[in-house]
Structure 1
């Protein structure tokens, strides 16, 4: 490696560190100025299609100012949708029929001016020109396969629970300590419930 390449690499590393430090400083300074933020789940429901129960839901994402600033600065945000299905009134030692975590990521591509929404499980990507459109797509959960109908007992009632939260562990390492300490990053919905009767 030439001397120029070494200097160039060192400069790039320093510039990256400076960018992260600037972002951290901004987030610390603005930690108390966040708008009302939080997530809410609406329209959680199931339907049976060809012997399989599918789940639909709409999640309204209201991010804090700090999270929005980070997103627009190129920090990807990962959302985790935790879904559980168990028999109503089940004993505590009874296993869940379903316990899955769906993961989605949103990233702002400043070069193209687009927001990229990725379904992490299957790698599907969508692109949107506005943040609002991207958030709407991010929260639109459709046709998620839950369980085969034959695995449920007739006459029983089952409880489907769903909660969405920002995955702090998926943030870049320099941001995590601040995110754990700041309410502006502690973003999640309440559990939403739907009762399923085969």
Structure 2
């Protein structure tokens, strides 16, 4: 009887290891290739470059007319801040990419401003989607001289924004769990 439980435990351990490996392989499909902040006329502006490497399942859905929504999470905190200290910036930018089969164009929309741009190729649309420029973070005067601050950014596919019939499969499949690791830029006024 104990031997049977040992086999079951070994099999479950192997299953969890395989699931963890599959999840680890899929988890870093988005790569933040550049992040920086600079002061311009008394305001800190942020630029970022994200390489969106979608899985075949996500690209197939996109080509079938399913809009994919991406959320870029931005945080600015004092380096070494206590957990109860407020973030100077905690913002989420939202973008959407949609393939319009009738026109043969890819539409990239900034969901906060409503700005739409169209591209003839998927590659051009994904490049534009990953190019984030001149995002206003905070006024320079809000940062204390001599302190160091940590600007963090990550991006993820918003599964909640998928059409309802697609969500259950997206929750269960690692192919839809697309996100980047946190990228960090340190700044000191």
Which band: TM-score by shorter chain? 0.7 to 0.9
Q: TM-score, normalised by structure 1?
A: 0.82
Deviation track 1:96-123 (CA, whole Å, cap 9, x = no partner) reads: 1110000000000000000000000000
Report the alpha carbon displacement of residue 43 of structure 1 after superposing the two structures with TM.
Answer: 1.4
Q: Does 1:116 align with 2:92?
A: no
Aligned to 2:178: 187
Q: 1:49 aligns with which of 22, 37, 40?
A: 40
Which structure 2 residues correspond to residues 138-149 of structure 1 after superposition, within 5 A? Answer: 138-149=129-140
Task: Supply the distance in 1 between the matched residues of 2:144 and 2:68 (Cα, whole angstroms).
Answer: 39
Aligned to 1:107: 98
Aligned to 1:66: 57
Q: Does 1:197 align with 2:188?
A: yes
Report the alpha carbon displacement of residue 86 of structure 1 after superposing the two structures with TM.
Answer: 0.3
Q: Does 1:132 align with 2:123?
A: yes
Give the 3-state SS of the residue equivalent to 1:42 in structure 2. Answer: strand
Q: 2:88 aligns with which of 94, 97, 102?
A: 97
Q: How many residues align?
A: 165
Task: Supply the distance in 1 between the matched residues of 2:83 and 2:70 (Cα, whole angstroms).
Answer: 28
Q: TM-score, normalised by structure 2?
A: 0.85
What's the C-alpha RMSD, in Å, of the aligned pairs? 1.3
Give the 3-state SS of the residue equivalent to 1:194 in structure 2. Answer: strand
Give the 3-state SS of the residue equivalent to 1:95 in structure 2. Answer: coil
Q: Does 1:159 align with 2:150?
A: yes
Task: Supply the distance in 1 between the matched residues of 2:128 and 2:34 (Cα, whole angstroms).
Answer: 15
Which structure 2 residues correspond to residues 14-93 of structure 1 after superposition, within 5 A? Answer: 38-93=29-84
Give the 3-state SS of the residue equivalent to 1:179 in structure 2. Answer: helix
